[in-house]
Amino acid sequence: MKKIILPVFLFLSACTGVNNHTHEHDHSLDDESENTEIIHITGKQMKIIDLELVKPKLMTLKHTVKANGSLELPPDKRARLGAQYGGRVTAISVIPGDTVQKGESIITLEHPEYLKLQKDYMKAVSDLEYQEKNYQRKMALQSDSFSSQSAVDKSKVERDMALANLKVLESQLLMLDMNPKRVAKGEFSRQIDLKAPFDGYITKVETSIGTYVQPEQQLVEMVDIHHLHLDLNVFEKDIALIKVGQEVLFTVPNIPGETMHAKIYSIGKALEVAPQSVIIHAELRENYPNMLPGMYVQGRVVVHDEASNTLPEDALLYDNGLYYAYVLERSDTSTMDDHLAFRRVEVLTGYRDLGNVEVNIDRPDLIDAWFAGKGSFYLEAERKKHQGNMHDH
């Protein structure tokens, strides 16, 4: 904001407000009443009260809706790993905070059941081979009229049952990440490895060496934090303003002073009860560092974003339901003791953002006018003082 000590001469007769409305002044007011809207100060007084002069500035204001929530992960990027069949823990390769790659061994388990499963699979392979040969033999005998149709049908059923049993056992081996082809060759293992289903970070390890774990017991938790998104609560009264694709500005407590960006990709269809709100989901614009699932987020959804003329909040004064500003009307600054004149004019305001307020100024001469900024409240105090003195008389 530019601070002006010796401003140039300007003459302003009125000020135009927001939404293309104009306000006509009552010219029947007597001179004494009109003079209460003009405040005179010297250049020296201007320096003492540290009064700044500002011009309307074209800025892109962001009208936002408050939406707080947390950083979350999609369900397929959070994993809780456990053993399908239980077993004893023989090795743990990670600790919380470790980075792991997809397919990397995390925990090793052993159990006699693993050996039994492999033996059953190998037997099922042999059984299927036998039943297949028997079925083919029955088919050949039937063609030579040495076997009945019922014998062929029975042989086919037995072959199909052997195949189904093999498929079930093969699926169980695959669930334990065992190779059925190696097992079929007699290459057995008494151990299995729990492996990472994706690249990510270990968040919990809930076992120790030598512990016997039950089937489906949770042993390790891991997350892929590269797919974090925002879950934000928007109050019921604001939900009509929210649309997919809108920008979200947000901050997190561990990174003070930094504003980050996200974009809405989904709007919930259920109303939360306490408080009355709807959950919206927004994807991060980039992979920000030091972000973790569950972190509290303070967000603002940008529902209006366009360029407009603005004044700083310091330039606007609220009085009896209306906003006013002081416009530099005339000045003679050949010496620091000469006078500057400010006229109080009504201003219609619009959106606010980060200390700036939208004002609609249609007249070119007003767009280039100087307004009292920081310190303008001293002018208002002087006006009220003068107005009070007039009433006393």
Q: Which of 306, 325, 340 is the last residue of a domain?
A: 306
Report if residue 375 sits inside a domain: yes
What is the model's pLDDT at position 220? 96
- Count the Cβ atoms, other than its own, within 10 Å of residue 348: 19
Residue 114 is assigned to a structural domain of this protein: yes
Q: What is the dihedral of CA 99, 105, 108, 111, to 10 degrees?
A: 140
Q: Which of 223, 251, 267 is the last residue of a domain?
A: 223
pLDDT confidence of residue 153: 83
Which string of b and e fits 288-307 if b means at least 16 CB within 10 Å?
beebebebebebbbbbbeee
370, part of any domain: yes
The answer to whether residues 217 and 94 belong to one domain is yes
Is the CB of residue 76 less than 8 Å from the CB of residue 224?
Answer: no
Tell me, what's the pLDDT at 5? 35
Give the pLDDT of the chain (393 residues) as one tens digit per residue: 433 333 333 333 333 333 333 343 333 333 434 455 788 888 888 888 889 999 998 888 878 899 999 999 999 999 999 888 889 999 999 999 999 999 999 999 999 999 999 999 999 999 999 999 988 888 887 776 666 777 888 888 999 999 999 999 999 999 888 999 999 998 999 999 999 999 999 999 999 999 999 988 999 999 998 889 999 999 999 999 999 999 999 999 888 889 999 999 999 999 988 789 999 999 999 988 888 899 999 999 998 877 888 999 999 999 988 999 989 886 554 544 567 888 888 888 888 877 889 887 766 777 788 999 999 998 888 888 877 665 555
Distances from the Cα of 5 to the Cα of 46, 51, 132, 325, 341, angstroms? 8, 9, 102, 19, 14
Q: Domain for residue 376, yes or no?
A: yes
- Domain carrying residue 273: 64-76+225-306
Q: Quick one: pLDDT at residue 391?
A: 57
Considering the domain architecture, whether residues 98 and 156 belong to the same structural domain is answered as: yes
Same domain? For 213 and 85 the reply is yes
Asked if residue 280 and residue 210 are part of one domain, the reply reads no
Cis peptide bond N-terminal to 275, omega within 30 = yes
Q: How far is CA 371 from the centre of its chain?
A: 39
Do 138 and 273 belong to one domain? no
Same domain, 206 and 247: no
82 and 210 both lie in a single domain: yes
Residue 110: exposed, middle, or buried by beta-carbon count in 10 A (0-12, 13-18, 19+)? middle
- The CATH code of the domain that includes 191 is 2.40.50.100
Global confidence as pTM:
0.60
Q: Among 279, 306, 333, which residue terminates a domain?
A: 306
Please indicate, yes or no, if residue 110 is contained in any of the structural domains: yes
Q: Is 8 part of a structural domain of the chain?
A: no
- Unique residue bearing structure tokens 């023989």: 90
Q: Which two tokens stand for residue 376?
A: 């303008």
Structural domain total, the chain: 3
Residue 286 domain-assigned?
Answer: yes
